[in-house]
Amino acid sequence: MPNAPMTQTDAAPTGRRTESSENVVAAKILLTVLVALVAWGLCVFIWGVPGLYLPALAMVPVIWIALIAITLGK
């Protein structure tokens, strides 16, 4: 029996893959934020008050470079 041509309803995506991949991306982002917060909390536990502000101080150049890159449109 010859192959029947596909109709538009046969080729239409179900949308499940897109929703699933969005959930995976969201889970990765949330996991990264959680790990960063736990690491920061461990810094405070180990080194006290300097562990609270030194990671934020270390992020200043990173955020500065990111802002310059955004401003330049890169």
Residue 63 maps to a domain = yes
- pLDDT averaged over consecutive 10-residue blocks of the chain (74 residues)? 58 61 93 95 94 91 95 87
In a domain, 34, yes or no: yes
Note whether 43 and 52 are within 8 A (CB): yes
Note whether residue 57 is domain-resident: yes
Angle of CA points 56, 29, 57, to nearest 5°:
5
Q: Does 5 fall in a domain?
A: no
What per-residue confidence (pLDDT) applies to 4?
Answer: 62
Query: Which H or E run contains 58?
Result: helix 49-72
7 within some domain: no
Rounded Cα distance, 13 and 16, in Å: 8
Two tokens, residue 19: 């929703």
Q: Which two tokens stand for residue 21?
A: 């991949």
For residue 10, being part of any structural domain is answered with no
What is the reported pLDDT for 74? 72
Asked if the structure places residue 14 within a domain, the reply is no
Rounded distance between C-alpha atoms, residue 27 and residue 18, angstroms? 14
- State the total domains in the chain: 1
pLDDT at 69: 94
Q: In terms of residue numbers, what domain contains 45?
A: 19-72
pLDDT score of 43: 92
